Amino acid sequence: MQNKCLYIHLGAPKTGTTYIQKYFCDYQKEFANNGLLYPDATIRGYGHHDVALLLNGAYPDWSTRQPKTLDELAGKIGDEIASVNSDVLISSENFFLFPQPTKLKELMDRHAWLTQRKLKLIVYLRRQDDFMESWYNQMVKAQGFAGDMSDAIDTMRDQCDYEKQLRNWLNVFSADELVVKTYEDAKKHQSGILGDLVEEIRPELLSLISNNKDQRENISLSRDLLEVQKILNRLPVSIEEKRILHKDLMTLTRHNQEPNKYSVLSRQQADDLIQPHKEGNNWVAETFLGRKNLFPERPKQEHIPYPGLSKETAVQTMGMLIMALKKNEKSS
């Protein structure tokens, strides 16, 4: 077992994590048969999210809770790891969204996750403006958020400081244990970010994945449907009830063939997200990637103001969602 490794995929959020996690769930047996364990004991929503969230002390308001304690969950993972002589992959973007490197190390030691295994922490970073635009969509469609982009930016400023985030991890783990990559680079892989991750872990397992690099699970809502979800989020009901239709809205987005030309992020907001972190981004690039620039320059494109949700679109969408609700009720 000397050359075996425990890989922890930290995220970050909005870098294809849901697709990666779903693929490893769907092909769990195939990967296990080829020497890579994706622990099954605590999977929920395709990833090991409960462990990551409970490391932070409690569940955030938008998450669905479960009754097991952090040590119960970590113990189950430890038992599963101990039962195999193979590499192990654990994945949740919440390790990066709610970073607790000291507590993670203590947890791994306490439950013997690393017995005779090396450790690699893998994180993908996305240019701050693209990350924020995608994350805002996530906040609205899955977390019950009804504010505007400026409100969202205020809550996520620390997440956009990649130098600060990574120095936090380097206070606990060595530079050799931390693998930093970019979402933009990974998308260039023949098999997309999934292929990039598999090649980083076990290149010989690339034959287990398809070459379709655009299969997304957690897609962003179109601009109109995002506004519809914000309307639903203003209703005086629970977050679970607010997001009950977000998968139907994602389905409608998939069926919409028109490109989404209305950005939720203004040109000024994009600049305000990128400029303060240029120096930090350069430090990350030089430290982990051996180059000067972490991300490609933001393309200079015209910002088209969103005209607002038309009554016709709102009525049509609400009608389709009512039909979806009735269909779900019949099938349940």
Q: Does residue 223 belong to any structural domain of this protein?
A: no
Residue type present at position 266: S
Number of domains, the chain: 1
Where is pLDDT greater, at 94 or 314? 94
| pLDDT of 131 strictly over 90 | yes
Residues 161-182 have a mean pLDDT of 98
In a domain, 305, yes or no: no
Q: pLDDT of 43-72, one tens digit each?
A: 999 999 999 999 999 999 989 899 999 999
Residue 261 within a domain: no
Q: What percent of the chain shows pLDDT beyond 90? A: 67
Q: Are 35 and 202 in contact (CB under 8 A)?
A: yes
d(CA 320, CA 248): 9
Of 12-26, 91-105, 120-134, 236-250, least confident by mean pLDDT is 236-250
Residue 276 lies in a domain: no
pLDDT at 165 over 90: yes
Grade residue 250 by pLDDT with cuts at 50, 70 and 90.
Answer: confident
- Please state the rounded mean pLDDT for residues 155-184: 96
Average pLDDT over residues 312-321: 78
pLDDT value at 249 more than 90: no
b vs e for 65-88, b when ≥16 Cβ sit within 10 Å of the residue's Cβ? Answer: eeebebeebbbbbbebbeeeebbb
What confidence category does residue 279 fall into, taking pLDDT thresholds of 50, 70 and 90? Answer: very high
Rounded Cα–Cα distance for residues 193 and 24 (Å)? 13
Residue 9 burial (CB count, 10 A): 27
**227 lies in some domain:** no
- Both tokens of 138, joined, read 């996530």
Q: How confident is the model at residue 13 (pLDDT cuts 50, 70, 90)?
A: very high
The parent domain of residue 188 ranges over 5-127+159-208
Mean pLDDT of 66-87: 96
Instruction: Provide the pLDDT confidence category of residue 269 given band limits of 50, 70 and 90.
Output: very high
pLDDT at 81: 97
Whole-number percent of the chain with pLDDT over 70: 92
Task: Over range 131-149, report the average pLDDT.
Answer: 92
Looking at residue 261, its pLDDT comes to 77
Rounded CA-CA distance 205/219 in Å is: 26
Q: Is residue 140 part of a domain?
A: no
Evaluate whether 205 touches 191 at the Cβ level (below 8 Å).
Answer: no
Q: Who contacts 144 (Cβ-Cβ below 8 Å, separation ≥6)? A: 61, 62, 233, 239, 242, 243
In what side-by-side order are the strands of the sheet with 118-125? Answer: 36-37, 87-91, 5-11, 118-125, 178-182
CATH number at residue 104: 3.40.50
The alpha-carbon radius of gyration of the chain (Å, integer) is: 20
Over residues 133-144, the mean pLDDT reads 92
Cα angle 10, 12, 13; round to 5: 125
Is residue 245 one of the residues assigned to a domain? no
Q: Looking at the domain assignment, is residue 180 inside a domain? A: yes
- The residue with greater pLDDT, 332 or 42, is 42
pLDDT for 276 beyond 80: yes
Between vectors from CA 120 to CA 119 and to CA 122, what angle results, nearest 5°? 155
Lowest mean pLDDT among 66-80, 240-254, 282-296: 240-254
What's the confidence (pLDDT) of residue 263?
87
What is the pLDDT at residue 187?
A: 94
Comparing CA positions, the residue from 172, 171, 49 lying closest to residue 106 is: 172
Positive or negative, the CA dihedral 164, 96, 89, 39 is: positive
Vertex 249: Cα angle to 243 and 251 (nearest 5) = 130
